[in-house]
Structure 1
Amino acid sequence: MDASIDILAIDDDKISRKIIGRSLEAAGMVPRFAENGEEGLAEAQRHIPDIVLLDVEMPGLNGYEVCDRLRQTEATKDVPVVFLSSHSSLRERMLGYEMGGDDYLAKPFEPENLIARIRVLIKYRDEQQVLQAQYEQAQKTAFIAMTGTSELGMAVQFVEKSYAHKTYEELADELFGVMDHLQLQCCLMILDADTPLWFSSEGSISPLEKELIEMADKEMRFFDFGANTIVNYPTLSLLVKNMPLDDPERYGQIKDLLPVMLSAANAKNSTISVEMALLGQSRDLLRAFGQIRTKLYYLARGMLDKQEESGGLLREMAEHINYDLLRMGLEEDQEDYLLTRIDTAIDDAMERIDSGETIYYTLSNVLSSIKGVMQNQEHIVEAFAMSQAVDSDADGKNYEGDIELF
């Protein structure tokens, strides 16, 4: 048997101690001894044994009381205990079991029987340790799995919510909300065209942090230095300032989650710029259409007013000419000739003036068409803005509580 096995024998009887010592030494072990319960407890605390051989009948603290003390002490609560007693009734054995004993050996005993019991307990102890280690590992794995599932749920929620965001600020706030739950401190750079926009989970970002993000190799997805990590995507870069380097599993989990969220944020960044440009363009078109409509209206109104004014002037001129011809004393045929020429010219002018009314009605139709286009464009802009507001409200949940993945 392995000589490194530490066995503590607590027995007040000198003969029993000698028998135990010879039996164990013959098997290659050197036990430690204590002559009473108090001394045995002190010895067990001084150096935690692998097995305790404990006599039941002792003055002061008896074996059952010593075993109870061992079980109540954190350091010795799992140490196997073998009761040694001259009584071997069922009642005695039941009492020993209730006090936390692992085996019960009646005196006098054969050395081979004692060694066999110790071997069984050593195997039992080793199996318990293996099972305990497996249990702890299983607990740890289960906790990691539950934590990972919850955090993956947050990442999925972020991806879903990102579709409704209308500005870079909203997207950055949403990302920092997840980072806060992950207990990560971050700085974020978003590229709007070629202009960098800066955001920080702590409210401010230092000049050196900006330089680190800008100068980091953009060809590398993850750029690690110390406890910091820079994650690069075409339209954004994220600096994580407190990566858990002391916990490799946690570190790996975070590195698995970041691409899920940042790839979605990168895609949304591209659409935000397009959406903002389209919305701005739509509003510019509305303003332009409004200006054109106003100008065409006044143009048509002015043409109609000029038409009426011109007709009035021609009629007035015809009256004056008729009056002047009467004063000239012309021959009748001369007067008729001049009046005919004048009437023909006036009729031609009036016909040309009347064509302005056609132009007016044409422009009126153009105005009506522009008005319809403006109304449709206004409906489109309003519907787009309302849909984004509805999506934002529907997704405006925080990350507290249960998270369903499927």
Structure 2
Amino acid sequence: MPSIKLLIVEDDLTSQIMLKSMLAEYRLTIVGSGEAGIEAATADQPDLIILDINLPGINGYETCTRLRSMEQTCKTPVIFLSSYTDLEDRLQAYGVGGNDYISKPFDVAELLAKMKFHSKYIEKHQQASKDLTSSHNMILELQTSAAKVQSISRFIQATLFCHDIDSLFRHFFRTAREIGVGCVLQIHSNTGVETRAIDGNIAILEQEILDMSSTMRRIHSFGKDRAIFHWSHARLLIRKVGNMIDTIALFMDALEAGIKSIEGESRLLHRVHELESQNSLVRDRVDDLFTLMNTDIKNAILSLGMVSVLDANDEDSLHDLIGSFSKRIDTELQTLGDNNNTMQQLIEELRIPPPELQELMDISADEGDGIELF
């Protein structure tokens, strides 16, 4: 049983030699007093203790009492080994927390049988502890993974309401802190290329690596658990990727969608501004046309000799005629303007996030402390 640590507290040299020979397969520690036994048990935390009763200094009963009062050894099995054979001695040993009792001179077969019994119990306990630890770690990992996915899910929603690259950077770094990622991010958009670090400091080497990473594959691992994620509009340098490659890939997909959304909205706004300018020009031209129509019609009537002069009634009739056409043209222009206003209102509504995301966006405006990358 090489994995089992056995502490023997025995002051008799002959007994020490015999026990050492018989139990050589265990990881043995042998001491000769109760005080030394307590010290060794505290330091080594053995799996099993063989304890003599008649010891120099504090006896075995007191030693066991103190062991049971300490967190490290309160549940460690204790086998008493003594020349005392009365029932009262066994009851006292049991009363202070003993698990078993062997009388001296001990029978080798009995000792080995009891050691085998306790060893099996210890091995089962050790395996159960390992299984429990493994299960705990698995649950913790699942909880951590779920929390990271939830953070990225919030980022995905937030990208729908980011209207510029600066706000996208802030949301990205906030989420990166939540999932425990130190990084440098480079975004390529229709406004240019911008590189920022989560801690605000970009090393020259980091900048050079990102600038030269265009020929790398989509996910490139290197060095001590570091990686570069290369998407169409973004490049991400990660300090310690661990087992989060898939998670960060999802993170980058959301970022890519956010960049494309901002570029699409920018193009839409540009088109709206163009329409507004065109409408303004059309209105100016219509005003000029009204003036020309009025003058040209008057001149045409006079040049044809239809009348030598327009009296007041003729002027009014002509003005009403031109006015009716003007109103019709103006109505069409107004409809065009209303359509333009409607488009602008839709864009403004798109800029307003739902209430459940407003708090997230307000918090993310504060970048907080960063994580050093190099």
What TM-score bracket applies, with the shorter chain setting the length? 0.7 to 0.9
Distance 1:111 1:186, change over 3 A: closer
Aligned to 1:10: 9
The CA distance in 2 between the partners of 1:93 and 1:274, in whole Å, is 85
Distance 1:88 1:21, change over 3 A: farther
Higher relative contact order (CA 8 A, sep 6+): 2
Aligned to 1:267: 257
3-state SS in 2 of match to 1:395: helix
Identify which of 246, 267, 275 aligns with 1:285. Answer: 275
Count of matched residue pairs: 355
Identify which of 166, 169, 186 aligns with 2:183. Answer: 186
| 2:208 partner amino acid | E
| 2:194 partner amino acid | L
Does the CA contact (< 8 Å) of 1:216 and 1:223 recur in 2?
no
Q: CA RMSD in A?
A: 3.9
Aligned to 2:343: 380
Does the CA contact (< 8 Å) of 1:24 and 1:115 recur in 2?
no
Identify which of 356, 360, 367 aligns with 1:398. Answer: 360
Aligned to 2:352: 389
Identify which of 235, 243, 253 aligns with 1:252. Answer: 243
Aligned to 1:222: 219
3-state SS in 2 of match to 1:389: coil
Does the CA contact (< 8 Å) of 1:88 and 1:106 recur in 2?
no
Greater displacement, 105-114 / 134-143: 105-114
- The structure that is helix-richer by fraction is 1
1:83 Cα offset (Å): 1.3
What are the residue-to-residue correspondences of 1:7-406 with 2, within 5 Å?
Answer: 8-11=7-10, 18=14, 22=18, 25=21, 34-41=31-38, 51-58=48-55, 60-71=57-68, 79-85=76-82, 86=84, 89=87, 93=90, 96-97=93-94, 99-107=96-104, 109-193=106-190, 195-203=192-200, 205-206=202-203, 208-227=205-224, 228-240=226-238, 242-243=239-240, 251-253=242-244, 255-304=245-294, 307=297, 314=302, 345-347=305-307, 361-391=324-354, 393-398=355-360
List gaps (5 residues or longer) in structure 2: 364-374
Distance 1:102 1:397, change over 3 A: farther
Distance 1:306 1:32, change over 3 A: closer
List gaps (5 residues or longer) in structure 1: 245-250, 315-341, 401-406
Does the CA contact (< 8 Å) of 1:286 and 1:377 recur in 2?
yes
Which is greater in Rg?
1
The CA distance in 2 between the partners of 1:379 and 1:23, in whole Å, is 94
Does the CA contact (< 8 Å) of 1:218 and 1:232 recur in 2?
no
Does the CA contact (< 8 Å) of 2:65 and 2:97 recur in 1?
yes
% identical aligned pairs: 21
Aligned to 2:368: none
The CA distance in 1 between the partners of 2:29 and 2:286, in whole Å, is 112
The CA distance in 1 between the partners of 2:353 and 2:43, in whole Å, is 69
The CA distance in 2 between the partners of 1:298 and 1:252, in whole Å, is 70
Distance 1:88 1:349, change over 3 A: farther
3-state SS in 2 of match to 1:374: helix
Distance 1:356 1:262, change over 3 A: same
**TM-score, reference length from structure 1:** 0.72
| 1:262 partner amino acid | M
**TM-score, reference length from structure 2:** 0.78
1:374 Cα offset (Å): 0.8
Does the CA contact (< 8 Å) of 1:34 and 1:40 recur in 2?
yes
Aligned to 1:332: none
Distance 1:348 1:379, change over 3 A: same
1:109 Cα offset (Å): 4.5
Does the CA contact (< 8 Å) of 2:10 and 2:16 recur in 1?
no
